Chains A and B, each alone.
Chain A
Amino acid sequence: MLTTVLLRRLIFSIPTLLGVATLAFMLGHMSPGDPAIAAMGLDLEGYSSVEPEELERVREELGLNKPILVQYVGWLTRALQGDFGTSYVSTIEVSELVFEALPTTMLLLVMTMSVSIVVGISLGIVSAVFKGRTGDYIARMIAIIGVSTPTFWFALVLMLCFAVAIPIFPVNGSFDEFGWKAMALPTMAIALHPAALIARMMRSSMLEVLSHDMIRTATAKGLSRWRVYMVHGLRNAINPVITVIGFQFANLMGGAVAVEFIFSLPGLGSLLIEGIYEKDILVIQGAVLVIGVAFALSNLLVDLLYMIIDPRIRI
C-alpha cells in the first residue's frame, strides 16, 4: 500500500521537478552579463577590445544564438541524461563539478539536520516538561536567540571565536584536509536557526499533547514519567515538528550556500557562487537544478515519513 502511495507521489512530483528545471534554466539566463565574454576569459574591461566577429563566433559555438526555447529543450533533454554541458570557464564537465561538490554539501546537510533535530527536539521537550520553570526559560531563551540570529553573521562569529581567537577549528578548508573539524563550525552555523524553530514547535506541540486525555490514561497505567512523555507524548507531538523539519530543508540549502562560501567548503554552494562570479551559465543551471531536485525529493521524503509515523493518514 505504501508503494502505491510512493509511486503516486513520485508521479505527482514530476511537474514540480519540471518547474524546478525551468527555473534553474531561467536563472542562469537572466543573470546579467554576457556568458560569451566570460567563456573567452575576459572581464567587462576586455569587452571593448573584442572583435565583434570573434564574439559572434563564440556565441555561435556555445549555441547562445539559438532561440531560447530551443536552448531550453536541448539543455533539458541533456540534463535528464545527466549531461549538464561543459563549463565555459574551466572546460570541465558540469556534471563532474557537481559530482565532486555534492558529497561535501550532502555531508554538511546531513550533519546540520541531525544536529538541529537532536538539539531542537531535546530543547523543546525540556521546555514543555519543565514548563514555567528554569529549564523552560533557558531553553526558550536559546530558541529566541537562535531564531533571530542571521546564519551568515553567526557563521562569522563562530569563525572569529573558535577559529581565530581560540584556534580549535580551521578557518577554512575541506573535509579532505581537516576531516570532521572542517565541518564543525559550518554545521553549528547552519543548525542554529532550524534547531531554534524545531524547539519552538516541539514545545508547543508537546504542551498541547500533554494536556490530552490519553496522557492521563498513560499515567493511570502506572508508566514512568519518561515513558509517558517519550512514548505517548512525543509520538503524538512529533508530526507538526516533522513538517517544520521538512520546511527547514529549504532554509538549510540557503544557509549552506552562504556558509560553504564563508568557510570555503568545496560544496554545491561554493560552486554556485563561483559560477555566478564567473558568469558560468551552465554551472549555475546545473547547481540550481541539483539543489532544487534535492529539495523536492526531501519534501517527498517528509510526506512519506508522515505516513509511516501516523497510522491515521495511511490512505
Chain B
Amino acid sequence: MPRKTHYYRFYFEVARASFRRQLVYRWTNLTGLIVNIFFGAIFSYVMIALFQARHDTAGYDLRDTLRYIWLVQALIMVVVPFGWTDLMLTIRSGDVVSDLSKPCDFYWYWFSREVGSALYYFLFRTVPIYLGGMLLFGIGLPGGWVSWLGSGFFLLIGAALGIAFRFLYNIIAFWIIEARAMVTMGQVIATFFTGSYIPIAFMPFWLRSITLWLPFNGMMNVPTEIFTGKLFGGALAFEFLRQALWLVALTLLARGIAAIAARRVVVQGG
C-alpha cells in the first residue's frame, strides 16, 4: 500500500516543524544555555571543594564527577525539559479537541513534536554545554567507541521515556483543575530521580536501590554512566531490559490514558 510511507512521513514532518519552532526562540534558548553553564560551574566548584577532603566517592573520582555534572546540565532539556506544559495548555484552551479529531495518532503526534524539540536541544544545548565544561574544567571526552555508541543508543531510550513521562503528567489536566501543581510535582520528581540534584551513585544505599529500578534512571543516569565508562558489559544488557520494559509500559500507559481522555472529550465535550 503506497499510503503507508505517507503515514510515517507526517510524523517526520511534525518533528521537523517542531524543530524549526524551537529555532524561533533563539534568545530564550540562549538564556537557558547560559543558566545551564552557570549551574554546571557552581556544582563543579562545590564538588572540587568536597573532593579536597575526600578523593573517591562511590567509585567516582573528581573527573568522573565533573563529567557527570556537565552531562546532567547538557542533557536535562533533552530528557526532562523544564516547565513543559504544551499539552496541558491545549487541554485548557480546548484546542486539544481539534488535535484529537485529526486523522493521526494523538500520542505519536505529540511524541513526534517532542522528538523534534529534543533534537534541537541536543544540538543547541547538549553539545555547547558539554564543550563549555571541557573549556572551563577540562573534563575531556571519553575514548572508547563503545561508550559513544552505547550512550547514544540509551539516550534515545531516555528521551523517549522522558516524553512518555511528561505526556502523562500533562494529560492529567483533563481530570484535575490544578494541573499546574501536577506539572510542578512531575518536574520535581523527575529532576530528583534522574539524579540531577544528587548523582544517583551518591545516594544512600536504600534510596539508590529504589531509584535504579525507576524509569527516571534510564532517562539520564544510564546514558551518562555509559558515557563515563561506569556501566558496561552484562550490566548494560540488564539496564537495557529494565528500561526497555519501562519504555513499553509508559508508552502503553500514555496511549491508554490518551484513549480514555479522548473518550471523555467525545462524551463530555472536553
Are A and B co-members of a single complex? no
